[in-house]
Amino acid sequence: MAITIRPFGIDSLGRRINCYTMENRHGYSVSIINYGASIQSIKVPDRCGKIEDVVLGFDTLEGYQNNTAYIGATIGRVCNRIDGASYDYEGKRYTLDANDGLNTLHGGREGFHGKFWIAQTTEGEGRDFVTMYLNSHAGEGGFPGSMRTQVVFSFGDDNRLEINYLATASEDTPVNLTNHSYFNLSGKGTIKDHVLSVDAPTFLDVNEENIPLGTVHTVENTVYDLRSPVLIEKAIKTGNHPTFKRQKGFDVSFRLSGKGLREVAMLHHPDSGRTIRVRTDQPALQVYSGQFLNEQGKGGAHHGAYAGIALETQHEPDALHQPSFRSIILKAGDTYHTQTCYAFSVE
């Protein structure tokens, strides 16, 4: 396959941002920029071969620099929310950036989404690789130890975008990395005419600040039961769970079935046939239906409410304060490695 590189802008320190595009032999392509290690576009055909860009994004670097919805970005060191912007670990208190009321959201002000990443490309037989490197300094955002992160995006003739996240740290630190792409398989309008399934028997309920209460609930008889495909518009119209009503849509952490790399969710657009199957080795999926989006996006399109849906593979949010959730501490010297795959098809 072949990777093309085009200039995307120069940041305030004079560093070059490029857009790296991996195109496969079916005409599908994935573009990544080394600002925020962000997915800038994913182009996929419909049943008639018509190609559309199926992720929200921006045409310019300025768009990404002013991106308040984390569109397309790699999120770290810790995605999702941390209650009270602090945590205790081995007798010490760590104070983090409070950037969402009193809480930390998506790594805080110094999050990975706003960083300059070093890129390396590798072209292969039937599969290309764009690797993004970031060195997060000790104390950045309040997190301990320096952390080296590698995000390997690879795209192949099998129409699969694989993302491998790797990290090592000089001190024990919390880590929870994800990608914050918003998908819209019609390439325009809203995702209300999409169908979604998530293989999760339970979800985490949250308080008014969207912090998990620590309680785990069955999806049965709630709008969160997506074990069979559900039309998103129907869920939005009829969902009467109090949290869902307050949030005006999905903004929920699902506890996924199974372990190891497995298929956990499917998003399908019946009109075009475009479909994404999400595979991951992670235990949780944050689904956010984009109800509060309000951004000026690619090609002059306004990304408004429900313009895209984020399917964020991760560990449970606020795990630092919930002893019953799996630990997100990466021990100094250990290697963090997680994998997520978005498989595209026309069905």
Q: Which residues bind ligand BGC (CB under 6 A)?
A: 69-70, 210, 251, 286, 288, 292, 310, 312
* DSSP 8-state symbol, 103: B
3-class secondary-structure state, position 141: helix
Smallest gap from Cβ 218 to ligand BGC, in A, equals 21
268 flagged as catalytic: no
Smallest gap from Cβ 105 to ligand BGC, in A, equals 6
Smallest gap from Cβ 286 to ligand BGC, in A, equals 5
* DSSP 8-state symbol, 243: H
Query: 180, 194, 268, 269: which is the annotated catalytic residue?
Result: 180
220 flagged as catalytic: no
Given a contact cutoff of 8 angstroms between Cβ atoms, the answer to whether 179 and 92 are in contact is: no
Smallest gap from Cβ 188 to ligand BGC, in A, equals 21
CA 4 to the chain's CA centroid: 24
Query: 110, 312, 315, 316: which is the annotated catalytic residue?
Result: 312
For ligand BGC, the closer of residues 40 and 289 by Cβ is 289
For ligand BGC, the closer of residues 105 and 169 by Cβ is 105
Q: Which of 113, 301, 80 is nearest to 210 (CA)?
A: 80
For ligand BGC, the closer of residues 29 and 103 by Cβ is 103
**Which tokens is 94 given?**
């760590």
3-class secondary-structure state, position 19: strand
Given a contact cutoff of 8 angstroms between Cβ atoms, the answer to whether 234 and 228 are in contact is: no
3-class secondary-structure state, position 219: coil
For ligand BGC, the closer of residues 28 and 288 by Cβ is 288
Q: What's the rounded Cα separation, in Å, for the pair 118 and 136? A: 12
Phi, psi of 250 (to 5 degrees): -85, 130
Q: Which of 318, 301, 239, 308 is nearest to 267 (CA)?
A: 308
Ranked by CB distance to ligand BGC, the top (closest) residue is 288
Q: How many helices (H) and strands (E) does the chain have?
A: 3, 30
For ligand BGC, the closer of residues 284 and 341 by Cβ is 284
Smallest gap from Cβ 251 to ligand BGC, in A, equals 5
Active site (catalytic) residues: 180, 312
